[in-house]
């Protein structure tokens, strides 16, 4: 039985269809003192052997919901609890950045592990975060599907990552598209919203470019990359990512930078989530 966290309701429904498993009735509420209550009465009614909780931990509340839903389905007598984190929040805090800082990804993983027999997550920022879970989480690769919404007529395309860390994703999307060159820029981050992009030598004049990254958060990385491309007489620019977090004014920032379209998956449910990771997840369930 599929159990949806409030942040992943459409994806959970898509996964239920894909697996032909029932979608549990759930409730999300808040007590007068502000405390959350996420419940799964549908699981208590149906008494399935397995519950698959699907919830992107995009906020601290969403983390709590996962813990509550895990507890609720155990309480209902479920034998196997699979927890699917389509987007793992705090995943980018995978080290102690300064003395006295926590390794937040590890802290979150430990808490979630206590209620899960198995954890799946989609394209984590660093695959090493999977080892913070006990047992180790499975990283599901959904990047290949990002080629699906791209137009068929890209002109001599370049699949570009805005930093070296995302070149594998750019190569995966290029491979799925079937033609084109891959390259990457260099990025230096000065603050949470300020990045500096140094372009490579790739000739982008009059060529269509697809910029690929794992996450678009504030949109600073992508908008800087698009700005650099625009200075080089690029053709059309498409941007695509696995996790369209799109915090604050990211969509406006990117639209003003002059992108043709923004594409993302439904690991985070946004207006640009045109690609579903449900089939990729289903193959592990
Ligand atoms: C970091 O290395 C990630 O791959 C992304 O580039 C980053 O999270 C994007 O963040 P923002 O949109 O805030 O620049």
Question: What is the CA(167)–ligand 1 centre distance, in A?
Answer: 13
Predicted pLDDT of residue 192: 83
Express each pLDDT in 172-223 by its tens digit: 999 999 999 999 999 999 988 888 999 899 999 999 999 999 999 999 999 9
Ligand 1 pocket: which of 124, 129, 215 to mutate (most atoms <8 Å of CB)?
A: 215
Residue 278 in domain: no
Residue 285 in domain: no
Give the other-Cβ count within 10 Å of 228's Cβ: 19
Q: Are residues 97 and 162 in the same domain?
A: no
Task: Check whether 227 is labelled as a binding-site residue.
Answer: no
pLDDT mean across residues, the chain: 96
Taking alpha carbons only, the member of 267, 272, 269 closest to residue 240 is 272
Q: Are residues 151 and 136 in the same domain?
A: no
- How many degrees, rounded to 5, is the angle at CA 264 between CA 254 and CA 253? 10
Predicted pLDDT of residue 68: 98
Task: Check whether 93 is labelled as a binding-site residue.
Answer: yes
Predicted pLDDT of residue 58: 97
Q: Are residues 22 and 128 in the same domain?
A: yes
Q: Are residues 69 and 88 in the same domain?
A: yes
- CA atoms of 101 and 81, how far apart (whole Å): 31
Residue 60: pLDDT above 90?
yes
Predicted pLDDT of residue 6: 98
Residue 181 in domain: yes
Q: Are residues 109 and 18 in the same domain?
A: yes
For tokens 């919901």, what's the residue? 65
- CA atoms of 209 and 156, how far apart (whole Å): 9
- CA atoms of 226 and 257, how far apart (whole Å): 6
Q: Are residues 183 and 123 in the same domain?
A: no
Residue 284 in domain: no
Ligand 1 site, residue 213, Cβ cutoff 6 A: yes
Total domain count for the chain?
A: 2
Express each pLDDT in 240-279 by its tens digit: 999 999 999 999 999 999 999 999 999 999 999 999 999 9
Ligand 1 site, residue 217, Cβ cutoff 6 A: yes
Q: What sign has the CA pseudo-torsion 126, 127, 132, 137?
A: positive
Q: Are residues 150 and 164 in the same domain?
A: yes
Express each pLDDT in 155-169 by its tens digit: 999 999 999 999 999
Q: Tell me, what CATH number does 13's domain have?
A: 3.40.50.2020
Predicted pLDDT of residue 199: 87
Q: Are residues 50 and 135 in the same domain?
A: yes
- Which domain range does residue 155 map to? 143-266
Burial of 20 (0-12, 13-18, 19+ CB in 10 A): exposed
Ligand 1 site, residue 225, Cβ cutoff 6 A: no
Percent of the chain as helix, strand, coil, to the nearest 5: 35, 25, 40
Question: What is the CA(145)–ligand 1 centre distance, in A?
Answer: 20
Ligand 1 site, residue 214, Cβ cutoff 6 A: yes
Residue 61: pLDDT above 90?
yes
Residue 199 in domain: yes
Dig out the tokens for 39 from the structure.
Answer: 């419940």
Which helix (H) or strand (E) is 67 found in, with range?
helix 60-75
Question: Could you tell me whether strands 195-198 and 118-122 are parallel, antiparallel, or unpaired per DSSP bridges?
Answer: unpaired
Band the pLDDT of 152: cuts 50, 70, 90.
Answer: very high
Residue 171 in domain: yes
Q: Are residues 10 and 93 in the same domain?
A: yes
Question: Taking the C-alpha atoms of 174, 176, 179 and 183 in order, what is their torsion angle to the nearest 10 degrees?
Answer: 10
Domain boundary among 141, 161, 184: 141
Domain boundary among 106, 141, 176: 141
Question: Could you tell me whether strands 118-122 and 138-140 are parallel, antiparallel, or unpaired per DSSP bridges?
Answer: parallel
Task: Check whether 77 is labelled as a binding-site residue.
Answer: no
For the entire predicted model, the pTM comes to 0.95
Residue 119 in domain: yes
Measured CA to CA in angstroms, residue 58 lies from 7, 73, 182, 247 at distances of 8, 21, 30, 10
Domain boundary among 141, 164, 186: 141
Question: Could you tell me whether strands 186-189 and 195-198 are parallel, antiparallel, or unpaired per DSSP bridges?
Answer: antiparallel
| Side-chain half-sphere exposure of 203, counting CA atoms within 13 A | 3
Task: Check whether 34 is labelled as a binding-site residue.
Answer: yes
Ligand 1 pocket: which of 212, 213, 246 to mutate (most atoms <8 Å of CB)?
A: 213
Predicted pLDDT of residue 42: 93
């Amino acid at each position: 039985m599929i159990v949806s966290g409030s942040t992943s309701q459409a994806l959970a429904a898509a996964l239920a269809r894909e697996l032909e498993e029932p979608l549990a009735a759930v409730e999300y509420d808040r007590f007068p003192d502000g405390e959350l209550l996420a419940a799964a009465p549908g699981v208590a009614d149906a008494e399935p052997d397995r519950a698959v909780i699907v919830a992107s931990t995009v906020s601290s509340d969403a983390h709590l919901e996962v813990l509550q839903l895990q507890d609720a389905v155990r309480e209902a007598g479920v034998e196997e609890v699979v927890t699917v984190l389509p987007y793992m929040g705090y995943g980018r805090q995978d080290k102690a950045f300064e003395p006295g800082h926590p390794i937040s990804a590890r802290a979150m993983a430990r808490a979630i592990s206590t209620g899960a027999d198995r954890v799946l997550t989609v394209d984590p920022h660093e695959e090493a975060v999977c080892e913070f879970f006990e047992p180790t989480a499975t990283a599901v690769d959904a990047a290949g599907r990002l080629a699906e919404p791209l137009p068929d007529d890209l002109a001599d395309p370049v699949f570009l990552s805005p930093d070296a860390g995302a070149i594998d994703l750019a190569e995966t999307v290029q491979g799925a598209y079937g033609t084109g060159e891959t390259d990457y820029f260099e990025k230096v981050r000065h603050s949470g919203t300020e990045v500096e992009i140094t372009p490579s030598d790739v000739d982008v004049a009059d060529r269509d470019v697809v910029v690929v990254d794992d996450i678009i958060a504030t949109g600073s990385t992508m908008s800087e990359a698009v700005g650099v491309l625009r200075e080089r007489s690029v053709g059309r620019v498409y941007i695509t990512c696995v996790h369209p977090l799109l915090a604050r004014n990211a969509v406006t920032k990117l639209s003003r930078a002059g992108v043709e379209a923004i594409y993302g998956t439904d690991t985070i449910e946004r207006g640009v989530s045109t690609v579903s990771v449900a089939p990729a997840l289903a193959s592990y369930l």
